[in-house]
Structure 1
Amino acid sequence: MKHQKRYDDQLKQQAIEMALEGSKSVAQIARDLDIKDNTLYGWVDKHRRDNPDKASTKLVVAKRPKKPHYYPVGKELPNIPNHLNREFNPPNINTHWVGDITYIRSHQGWSYLATVMDLGNKEIVGYEISKTPDAQLAKRALINAIAKHQPDTTQLMFHSDQGVQYTANLFKDCLALHKITQSMSRRGNCWDDAVQERFFRNLKTEYLNDLSFINHQSVVDAVEKYIGFYNHKRLNSAIDYLTPVQKRLEMQKLA
């Protein structure tokens, strides 16, 4: 007889809060937390029954389709359009960066990873790991990328989903300071940020899912090890089976 997987109360509460916040779809949250979509729906339904005053909160639902599908919740923020428009293969580096945040569990709680990817060569050009999923986390990942790669930020676009970290004034002011153009996905449409989502999926399925983390520092060590492998050793079919660093060097020679 198959045993039902048990989840602790902290995980349930974290998942419910993220689902009700609405910055990510239920499918994305379930995938990030390694739980089933239906399990998360059940938790949220129970939460609503127990808290009827909050029952009007709408979930962002985005199931992975078997064929192209356009989501009815696909709205841009009024003042931040989707400049990227799924153009995931720009001809140059340091022109199109994308960012996102994912969640990694340890025995002491949650760790949050913010990354910045250059779409030109699919390299993780900056990242930050924190115990708090706030705008400061997203900002530090961006600043780290700028400091390391020194792009002409007046020619740079930064794309993300509509997460609260990226709509916060702290993050938007950082973009404005460096004269970076901000672009945002339509609400609830995970395909607008597909390349960055694919990196998180690879990180977890190829490495993290086989590990158990005793604390936050063990998460940091593992993530840094994988990013080093991903940038320098992992061949990527989207860039002619080169590594991201090899592709960057190739593009710099042709520039």
Structure 2
Amino acid sequence: NGFICNKKRVQRLLQNLGYRSCASKKRYGRAPRQNTLIPAYNILARQFKVDKPDRVWVSDITQVRCTDGWQYLCVVLDLFSRKVIGWSTSRINNAKLVLRSLNKAWKQRQPLGHELLFHSDQGIQYRALETIRWHRKRKIKVSMSRKGNCWDNACSESFFAQYKKEWMNNLDQFSRQEMTMQSRIYIDTYYNPVRSHGTLGGVSPMDFELIN
């Protein structure tokens, strides 16, 4: 709101009002091996600062426990502004979930495929033949994180951490349908237009794109 103050002051005031941080629990363990296509190289190499829109897109998938089972959320972010430009949910974690998110992002942004780098982890959904064909058809260069190294896709991981801490963990039990609705509220009415980012100079992704 334009008030200039130290972050420690904000923390102290919030604590005096009874607010406490609710950090998500760390999970350990490895996913079972799958017979999939050979992964791409890590071309992005943690170069998360991008000076133009639609030059680097990053993507990942997370799972959310619902009253009627797991529901999966796939997002595509533009690294230039950290804006979520495509997302989709499904009860099945497969390549179709990724392709729906990619198609939404492509329809919204209409980028030049040969100038675009798409980065993800080595999940079987991103190495699936139909996903690779989608990229090749549009002449998109593909980059993938090194195996077992979540820091190579830190921006997507950070989004999901905030999505769960700031929103989903504060809700009571919800169904898969309600999870999708809450995801839409978080992304479309809070994260993209309102939530400020330190890496963007304290403005939201949409505001950052407007002023740049």
> What TM-score, normalized by structure 1, do the two folds share?
0.69
| 2:114 is the counterpart of 1:154 | yes
Look up the equivalent residue of 2:176 and give its one-letter code.
H
| 2:148 is the counterpart of 1:188 | yes
- Describe the superposition over 1:11-60 as per-residue Cα deviations: whole angstroms up to 9, x where unpaired: xxxxxxxxxxxxxxxxxxxxxxx6664xx66xxxxxxxxxxxxxxxxx47
> For 1:1-255, what aligned pairs fall within 5 Å after superposition?
37=27, 59=30, 80-228=40-188, 229-251=190-212
Higher helix share: 1
Q: Supply the distance in 1 between the matched residues of 2:170 and 2:72 (Cα, whole angstroms).
A: 18
RMSD across aligned positions (CA): 1.6
Q: Supply the distance in 2 between the matched residues of 1:122 and 1:241 (Cα, whole angstroms).
A: 12
Report if aligned partners of 1:102, 1:112 keep a CA contact under 8 Å in 2: yes
Offset at residue 97 of structure 1 (A): 0.3
Q: Supply the distance in 1 between the matched residues of 2:74 and 2:39 (Cα, whole angstroms).
A: 23
Q: Which residue of 2 aligns with 1:11?
A: none
Offset at residue 189 of structure 1 (A): 0.3
Look up the equivalent residue of 1:241 and give its one-letter code.
G
Offset at residue 212 of structure 1 (A): 2.7
Offset at residue 79 of structure 1 (A): 5.7
Report if aligned partners of 1:106, 1:212 keep a CA contact under 8 Å in 2: no
Report if aligned partners of 2:86, 2:105 keep a CA contact under 8 Å in 1: yes
- Describe the superposition over 1:191-239 as per-residue Cα deviations: whole angstroms up to 9, x where unpaired: 0000110000000001100113432110001001000210000111110
Offset at residue 105 of structure 1 (A): 1.0
Report if aligned partners of 1:213, 1:219 keep a CA contact under 8 Å in 2: no
Q: Which residue of 1 aligns with 2:11?
A: none
Moved over 6 A (4+): none
Q: Supply the distance in 1 between the matched residues of 2:62 and 2:162 (Cα, whole angstroms).
A: 12
Structure-2 change in CA distance of 1:246 and 1:35 (3 Å): closer
Q: Supply the distance in 2 between the matched residues of 1:161 and 1:79 (Cα, whole angstroms).
A: 9
Structure 2 unmatched runs, 5+: 1-23, 32-36
Q: Supply the distance in 1 between the matched residues of 2:98 and 2:38 (Cα, whole angstroms).
A: 21
Q: Supply the distance in 2 between the matched residues of 1:103 and 1:212 (Cα, whole angstroms).
A: 16
Q: Supply the distance in 1 between the matched residues of 2:205 and 2:166 (Cα, whole angstroms).
A: 17
- The number of residues matched between the two structures is 183
